[in-house]
Structure 1
Amino acid sequence: MTETAPAEQSGQMSHREILEALTGLLLAMFVAMLSSTVVTNALPAIVTDLHGNQTGYTWVVVATLLTMTATTPIWGKFADLFSKKLLVQSALVIFSIGSLIAAFAPSMEVLIAGRAVQGLGIGGLTALVQVVIASMVSPRERGRYSGYIGATFAAATVSGPLLGGVIVDSALGWRGCFFLGLPVAALAFVVLQKTLNLPVVRREVHIDYLGATLIVGGVSLVLIWVSLAGTSFDWVSGTTALLVGGGVALVAAAVYVEGRVAAEPVIPLHLFKDRTITLATIASVMVGVAMFGSTVYLGQYFQLARGMSPTEAGLMSIAMVGGLVASTTVTGRLITATGLWKRYLVGGTFLVAVGLGLLGTIDDETSLLVIIGFMVVVGVGLGASMQNLVLAVQNTAHPKDLGAASSVVAFFRSLGGSIGVSALGAVLAHQVSGDVKAGVTRLAAEGRLSPSELGSLEHSTGDIPDVSALPGPVQTVYEAAMGSATGHLFLIAVPFAVAAFLCVLFIKEVPLRTHSGPAETAAPEATDELVQEDVRS
């Protein structure tokens, strides 16, 4: 066991020490974000190449979100019990294994499995980076470093779609997208080994595997029902009753286990006795539905409704990310300077609702400049709200619950995203299929399709065709259907953003603490032994 540096014994690190450790953490965050954004503009090509459909498109995204959601609170609880450095490095290894599975996937099923493994690692990186930063930096000073976080987020979000588009359009094809994060993950592993050196509180470990299993089982059944109902089986059917009934029963059992059985629940229910944590959690669900559920299909819109290449679709994402980066950076510095944060949450969620409402008006003919303006509004709103919801919870939670509280917010945001992507994907598939069938029928009645062309069109619910290969009139029909359906998705997302706005209105603003989590926990309890993590381990 090595000696703890004085700064770390007091729970405070120097600015230089924080920046050194932050380098590895930001690389890990970059990997997590890149894995999501790099695949966005590759999905149409992936689904076409592997002969998938709209449901498969949805589940390539949902599989990652679901495993990330299920494991985020477990990683957060681990952070309260084990070495944070070892946990972050383990998450990087798991992510890399999932990336390799996805890169070599011969079918949609294997690809979705690889994405699920990726999600296990991303869940760790998402939760642990926030927890470690909270352990090093006080809430009041955290805004000083939010610019670095925002810049990393922006770099991954901007470069991901662009790199993904370029890779898909190159000889590497879409499989190259899954190799992209591996060198960065390896670099992050090495940097963390050298720079991250935090105290660890060791105590008796009780991991709530039963609760976690029940939660992921219940959520999975509901998402499967939302994704497949109306296509694989009827909305009102025995299968629906089994999936919905089973999902509700598992979630109810999870609530009982978390509240009455588990010694160390993955979602400590006592956290929700605090109004700020409860309202911030509800707002996180709503933001997750609105953000993931609507924006994940923008890449598909630009390629299938506007005829863009993957690279061009990636360039369009700069608008939203630019607004997000500017908003995150400015609000972070203002919060550090003033200690006030609620106004930015209120303004941010309001702008998200307005921006989604504006995007709800788009179709396949809307001016791209107008769409860019709408995307900037959404980006500014997300930048002012997402990170600050986590900050509000971290500032309220007791230091011993810091990891669990941080991961609860991330958990429910990802849960909302999983629900949003799954539900809105089903809506998109149903609406596009119906509009295309009606359009093709009309073209046939007007004699604008030859019998051979009509016979070759076997468009079933959820199919994603190669639009450029369709007959001209059908291509126009498909683009119009995709454009109007995408606008409809944004309108559906608006009420969720409004609900998030109402939640943050009622959050009580508590002055930001000027000390970090470790500073408080440095006063040892009788049952805890403070030990120093050996950087050479």
Structure 2
Amino acid sequence: MTVEAAVDPYDVLTPRRRKLVTFALLGCAFLAMLDGTVVGTALPRIAEQLGGGSGWYVWLVTAYLLTSSVSVPVYGRFSDLYGRRRLLLGGLGLFLAGSLVCGAAASMPALITARAVQGLGAGALLTLGMALIRDLYPPDRTEGLLRMQTVLATMMVLGMVGGPLVGGLLTDHADWRWAFWINLPVGLTAAAVLRAALPDRRPSGAPTGQLDVAGILLLTGGLSLTLVGLSLKGNAAGAHPVGWTDPSVAGSLLAGLALLAALIPVERRAALPVLPLRLYRHRAYGTLLTAGFFFQVAALPVGILLPLYFQYVRGHSATVSGLLLLPLLAGMAVGNRATAAAVLRSGRTKPPLVAGAGLLTAGTAAFFALDAATPPALTGLWLLLAGLGTGPAMGGITIATQNSVPRADMGTATAGAALTKQIGGAFGLAVAQTLSGRGMAPHPGSGVPAGAAAIGSTVAWTGGTAGLLALAVLLAGRDVRIPGRGGRTAARGGRTTPAERR
């Protein structure tokens, strides 16, 4: 091995270059988070100018969710095999091209197609951005990793709140097209910094073999159909809700699951599988993916249904409704920061994740008591508990997942954690729509959902059940240890060496 091959180019980055690259990566991740929610408040104006009914609304959102989700595992796996820099720059290029066309779209089909292209690039931004941040700030760089987890959590919260706010402001005071064009200056600046300052580190000793085309097609097809089925069910509302047995829902889900089942024997034979099944031999990895799925199932209905309660049951404006959700968002930020600090101090990931699952269960189950006269302070307390419970899953699951597998599979592991959370969110929304039933049906002719009790019981049943399942999975699973302040070595599941963690 030559001296050049032994030196990690990330280890010799100057502090200034490391900081510039970090800001560019955070900018990429923020764009992906923001664009997942920015369209919501602009939909009425878009429909007014481009035409289209509620059916187009669903696909305008689903197109981005679909392509950004199904591309995640492919980006993650390919980054482990061929390096992350070129894939990230390629994904950023797709995202910016999609943004440009979205802003220039003259019809709803054109806009939906451009959103799909945008989502295809967005799959790289968040997944590879987080993987590269982990490369730049491994667990032995404790202070840097702690700061990065804090910043990432803050960005996630800002993306959730900022997307609808930015979309509304631009739609009201400029033009809805700027909700997409605003990505261009930020994205182009990030691309220039990454090209100039981020070294092209390619994996040494990566396996060789024929590209797993069959695996890629089966994986993307299976995930696409599964997410389409969940999206059709989760976005069903109004006087004609769609049931699980509806041909569009049941057909998509069954076909998607069949393709994913067919993927297993294909991946066992593939020389370079897009989904390495050997990762699931690490018990901790499978445990963390399952727990992340249930965390998201429990958490998403809170953020989706409580604004309906504040606006339609309590009569608050959209702005006040957003302010009343601040305890949830503050809890997420604090919970994530506390989790990262606890993990890096003790070297153990299991205790804070277990505590988070317990808090999330308690916070969501409390909504059984929600009614039209519940004091805002009490609602805020329940939201704070739910946020504190959700926080550990935001960064803690990722940290644990990245350290539960060999270092060479870190990108794939990061993608797996992100994908299962996205599927969990879609499934949670579909379950919540089912549980809400007639209690959430609009008043005739008003289009306004009714029933504080229906909202409260839906949040409580979905969150409480999924939270308990996450708690049970974590308690039954192994602890993943990482290097902390005490210099603990880790990766019981991954058995990585200090040299590999560099």
Change (3 A) 1:227 1:129: closer
How far apart are the structure 2 equivalents of 1:172 and 1:366? 38
Show the 5 A alignment for 1:58-137: 58-105=58-105, 109-137=109-137
Task: Verify: 1:480 aligned to 2:482, yes or no.
Answer: no
Q: CA deviation at 1:281?
A: 0.8
Q: Distance in 2 between matches of 1:159 and 1:243?
A: 33
Distance 2:111 2:368 in 1: 31
Q: Which residue is equivalent to 1:149?
A: 152
Residue number among 475, 478, 487 corresponding to 1:508 in the alignment: 478
CA distance in 2, matches of 1:45, 1:315: 24
Letter in 2 for 1:121: G
Q: Deviations over 1:31-86 (max 9, x none)?
A: 11211243344456656875533x65554444333222211111111211224222
Query: Once the 2 structures are TM-superposed, how far is the Cα of residue 90 of structure 1 from its aligned partner?
Result: 1.7
TM-score normalised to structure 1 length: 0.77
Which runs of structure 2 are paired with 1:267-278 in the superposition (5 Å)? 267-278=275-286
Match of 1:212 among 202, 209, 216: 216
Q: Does 1:324 align with 2:332?
A: yes
User: Separation in 2 of the partners of 1:177 and 1:305?
Assistant: 30
Q: Secondary structure at the match of 2:202?
A: strand
Deviation, 1:206, is 4.5
Distance 1:497 1:44, change over 3 A: farther
Q: What is the root-mean-square deviation of aligned Cα atoms in Å?
A: 3.6
1:462 — aligned with what? none
In the alignment, residue 256 of structure 2 is paired with which amino acid?
Answer: G
- 2:471 is the alignment partner of 1:497: no
Question: Which amino acid letter does the alignment assign opposite residue 380 of structure 2?
Answer: I
Q: CA deviation at 1:166?
A: 2.7
1:62-461 alignment to 2 at 5 Å? Answer: 62-105=62-105, 109-140=109-140, 141=142, 142-168=145-171, 170-201=172-203, 203=206, 204=208, 206-226=210-230, 228=232, 231=240, 236=245, 242-258=251-267, 260-299=268-307, 302-359=310-367, 361-362=369-370, 366-425=374-433, 431=438, 435-436=441-442, 439-440=443-444, 457=445
**Aligned to 2:173, what secondary structure does the other structure show?**
coil
Further displaced range: 514-523 or 154-163: 514-523
Q: Relative to 1, partners in 2 of residues 1:19 and 1:497: Cα closer, same or farther, differing over 3 Å?
A: same
> Which sits farther off after the overlay, 130-139 or 303-312?
303-312
Query: Within 2, Cα distance between the matches of 1:105 and 1:421?
Result: 29
Residue 178 to residue 222, structure 1, CA distance change in 2 (3 Å): same
Distance 1:10 1:37, change over 3 A: closer
Deviates most, 339-348 or 313-322: 313-322
> Retained in 2: the 8 A contact 1:71–1:124?
yes
In the alignment, is the contact (CA less than 8 A) between 1:37 and 1:161 conserved in 2? yes
Distance 1:17 1:240, change over 3 A: closer
Structure 2: 5+ residue runs without aligned partners?
A: 491-495
Contact 1:100 1:178 in 2 (8 A): yes
When Rg is computed on C-alpha atoms for both structures, the one with the higher figure is 1
Query: How far is the alpha carbon of 1:277 from its aligned partner?
Result: 0.4
Moved more, 357-366 or 228-237: 228-237
How far the C-alpha of 1:274 sits from its partner, in A, is 1.2
Percent identity over the alignment is 29
TM-superposed deviation, 1:105 = 4.7
Which amino acid in 1 is paired with 2:174? L
Q: For 1:45 and 1:310, how far apart are their aligned partners in 2? A: 17
Separation (CA, whole Å) in 2 of partners of 1:244 and 1:199? 39
Larger RCO (CA under 8 A, 6+ residues apart): 1
Q: Does the Cα contact within 8 Å between 1:335 and 1:341 map onto a contact in 2?
A: yes
> 1:223, 1:180 → 2: CA distance?
28
SS in 1 for 2:203: strand
Instruction: In structure 2, give the amino acid aligned to 1:508.
Output: R
Alignment size in residue pairs? 479
State the TM-score, normalized to the length of structure 2: 0.82
Bigger shift: residues 379-388 or 218-227: 218-227
CA shift in 2, pair 1:225/1:27, >3 Å = closer
Kept after mapping to 1: 8 A contact 2:30/2:159: yes
CA drift of 1:145 comes to 3.2
Q: Is the 8 A contact 2:340 2:395 kept in 1?
A: no
Residue segments in structure 1 that go unaligned for 5+ positions in a row = 441-456, 458-473, 524-537
